[in-house]
Chain A
Amino acid sequence: MAGQTSDFPAMHFPALLAAGGLIDQATFLSGVKGFLTIYYLGLAITNAVAAFLLWHHWHRPKAALVWTIVATVFGGILAPMAGSGDPYWTPRMPEAIVSFLNSWLSGQVGAIVYTIGSVVFLSVLYLGRDFFVRPMVAWTGLNLALLAMGLSMVNQNFWQVVSKGDNIPIVGLMFLLGFFTWLATYRAVINDKRIAEGLPPLEKLDDEKVLVWPDLVYTELVCMLALTAFLLVWGILIQAPLEQPASSVKTPNPSKAPWYFLGLQEMLVYFDPWMAGVVAPSLIIVGLMAIPYLDFNKKGMGYYTINERKFAYLNFQFGFLVLWVTLIVMGTVLRGPNWNFFGPFEPWDSHKVEALKNVDLSEYFWIGLLNRGLPKAPTGSGFFVELGYILLRESPGFILMGIYLFVVPPALAIGTTLFRNMYLKMGFLRYMLMTNLLLMMAILPIKMALRWSFNLKYIIHIDEWFLNF
């Protein structure tokens, strides 16, 4: 656990700072029992408020009864159990789930399972959105997630990850993002139903003009004050995640980017720094800027909808939720020392060996397939001879990339109705631009999958000029 000890929030247990790693579970629990009690009590109060609102405001006594029971369980049973600080009584994740998650979310397999799993999970949520956005279902999901969180925090390894000052915003992000995605989807589902019935969307019903001054400005003022107060409390309660004095020879292990850049850091694992650090982020920005010029769908302005903008919606959610947010969560929770993959409850062993031997596409082709050495210019040959040899060596990669970027789009236009309609509406240039941007976005998961499954390092690898892809 070297390198991770100093990151504990000192508020909870200074004893742990000295312990340097995993400590006796009873000692650990006596440190966190206060927090856990407050956590479960908070859950109880939240559910009690929900039950009260259901009964009093929305007149649904049965639902109110259910959530009253839930609140009672949280406040009356789980909170005192957690407050006991006793390893036996404290509610915790069942051992079966812990070992299951640890074995499936660890190492190379873990990367694949996590990525595919999150895509499948989000797809299920998307396809079953009519069901999942129902307030009662969503509230149940939130409660389950928070309960899983509370049960997991009893595990010291998990606790070390989520309670680190750097990572608290990400835990918050997961829940906040879940809430806002739910809110948008909820309204979109309602609107889609209304549109199918020939009614105007909700937003058009309440089209009253609202003034910037005073309506908006007052709201902003209140938000500003509330946020400032919140940040003050945060700043007082949680210590800044400071580390040892900077040294050019000692890099913390693991070395993590600020949380909002963890997606980029994950990208850097699969691409050359020039590509992942400069070209890809620029492409993201340019691509976002290009959307208004590529989008010919005039529907969906000023109201939430999914059915009217399926293509745009799915692309955005894939780029944002899958390629950005899940990578942030992955970088936070699952990446450990030496940037290896660790299960959420797995100890961070900096000596964990992962057998990796990355191979370039050119090596696969020339050595693996043709069973001969890489083409190499004779020593002392001129620039153009060397250039020719390099191009020959990397020709498989160039040909593959050429096919990917310039043959796949026409093939899509010919083969699928969706893309054919787009081609007809957008014209050649706009169509190629859009498909190329899409394909560049898609190459990240493709490259990740290739790395995990074939240990593929670079498709095009020209060290001589720092051109790797």
Chain B
Amino acid sequence: MAEKKKLSTAEILAMARGKAAEASAAKPAGESPSPESAAPASELPAASAEPDSAAAVEKKPAPKPAAKGGARPSVAEMMAMARAQGGAKSAAPAEKPPTEKKPVEKPAAKPAAVKPAAEKSAPAKSGGPKDTASILAAARGAKPGPMTKAEAAAAATSPPAKPKAVAPPMPTKPDYAKPSPKPVAKAVSADESRRGFLHVMLGSFLGIGMTSLASVSALWTLGFARFMFPNILTEPPSRFKAGPKEGFSPGTVEEKFKAQYGVWVVNGDYNGQQQIYALKTVCTHLGCTPNWLEAEQKFKCPCHGSGFYKDGINFEGPAPRPLERYAIRIADDGQVEIDRSRTFQEELGQWADPASFIPATA
């Protein structure tokens, strides 16, 4: 068996043809010896070929796929099957050609068993070289079996009527798929439409599923929205007291509110006017926190190098506008109070607003 795997397709086809020829030669020899076929029969030692192919059939596990109820066989299996058929054919006539008895008892050899019958119906035609396509087709099991080239030609001239693909009858539409009668008029009573709504929402498993999905999603959304309003805010209050005005001596930048409130309280000069103002510690470029450099008397941002004068005006780096001010005032108790909920922007002229500074004396 091992060397069989090495055979090329051409060789296998040649072998199949040879075996079919043997079969057709052997068959007439046993059935009705006609003069034409008797001559090749005597030439071909049919008897010597028989045991070989018969043994091949018995040993062969290949035609299994056929037994598996229509699983498509691989090419190798098809070839094996073709070989098996050839063997069966040559074996069958030798035993007892006309009987219905299968040459091999295995159910696997079913296609092979069909063959003799098919051949019996037209024994006269079987002779001459086989058509390659028909051999392969026979192996695939779609067509009756290898036929002669003459047969193939005949088949080509008058193709057998193919079984028409009959479309199975459409299943009747279920109720829910039928086009519902159009709402002809809006005369549907409120009661009916309400029932219709309920029917859509809860009338089927799909409806129930979608409805519950929607409700759960809505609940989730609501729950998520609730997160936006926490019970406790740990942020520092927007207003805070920064001590008495006298705590900010002229020319100083008070940094002690930076960590908690993000504010520099500066007593400085703006446009020739001494003021106390609260600068927001956020760079106007990209929002980093600048540092106050006492030695250079400037605010310098570490991210992109923006620099601001003590009054908050930008002068170097990419910051497009000055630092912002928070609202600042003297509270009723005399302390400086800073309100971080209001900001004042210089470029909008808001630093002139008296709420943005406390006048101071130099």
Contact = CB atoms under 8 A, between A and B. Distances in A.
B249 interface: no
Which secondary structure dominates chain A's binding surface?
loop
Contact of B347 (A250, A379, A464): A464
Contact of B304 (A249, A268, A353, A463): A268
B348 interface: yes
B102 interface: no
Shortest 6 CB-CB distances between A and B: which pairs?
A: A339-B305, A356-B316, A253-B302, A463-B347, A251-B289, A255-B303
A265 B307 contact: no
A271 B318 CA distance: 6
Contacts of B245: none
B321 A265 contact: no
Contacts of B295: 351
A337 interface: yes
10 contacts: A247-B259, A248-B289, A253-B291, A253-B302, A255-B288, A268-B304, A269-B305, A270-B318, A339-B301, A464-B348
Contacts of B305: 269, 338-340
Interface of B: 258-259, 262, 281, 285-286, 288-291, 293, 295-296, 300-305, 307, 315-318, 320-321, 347-349
Contacts of A310: none
Contacts, number: 84
A104 B290 CA distance: 28
B304 A339 contact: yes
Given A268-B303, A350-B293, 18 more contacts: A249-B262, A250-B259, A251-B301, A252-B302, A255-B288, A265-B303, A268-B285, A268-B286, A269-B304, A270-B318, A273-B285, A273-B286, A273-B318, A351-B296, A358-B315, A358-B316, A358-B317, A463-B321
A466 interface: yes
Interface string A335-349: 001111000000000
B240 to A, nearest CB: 15
A164 interface: no
A277 interface: yes
B216 to A, nearest CB: 36
Nearest to B314: A358
B317 A339 contact: yes
Contacts of B288: 251, 255
A356 B293 contact: no
Contacts of A350: 293
Nearest to B318: A269
B349 A379 contact: yes
Contacts of A458: 320
Contact of B302 (A255, A354, A356, A357): A255
A396 interface: no
Interface in A183-219: none
A466 B316 contact: no
B318 A338 contact: no
Nearest to B315: A357
B320 A468 contact: yes
Nearest to A468: B320
B318 to A, nearest CB: 5
Interface of A: 247-255, 265, 268-273, 277, 337-340, 350-351, 353-354, 356-358, 379, 457-458, 461, 463-464, 466, 468
A1 to B, nearest CB: 14
Contacts of B348: 464
Nearest to B258: A249
Contacts of B307: 356
A337 B289 contact: no
> Interface centre among A271, A340, A354, by most B CB within 10 Å?
A354
B286 to A, nearest CB: 5
Contact of B315 (A251, A253, A356): A356
Given A268-B286, A351-B293, A353-B296, A251 B316 contact: no
Given A356-B316, A357-B315, A339 B285 contact: no
Nearest to B291: A253
A249 B281 contact: yes
Contacts of B290: 251
A467 to B, nearest CB: 9
Contacts of B347: 463-464
Nearest to B302: A253
Contact of A254 (B259, B302, B318, B320): B302
Nearest to A357: B315
Contacts of A353: 296
B320 A249 contact: no
A339 B301 CA distance: 8
Nearest to B283: A251
Given A248-B289, A250-B289, A253-B291, A339 B315 contact: no
A250 B347 CA distance: 26
A251 B285 contact: no
B21 to A, nearest CB: 42
B176 to A, nearest CB: 46
A254 B320 CA distance: 20
Contacts of B315: 356-358
Nearest to A276: B318
Contact of A338 (B259, B262, B302, B320): B302
Contact of B318 (A249, A255, A272, A463): A272
Contacts of B318: 268-273, 457
> Interface centre among B285, B286, B307, B318, by most A CB within 10 Å?
B318
Contacts of A337: 302
A265 B317 CA distance: 13
A249 B289 contact: yes
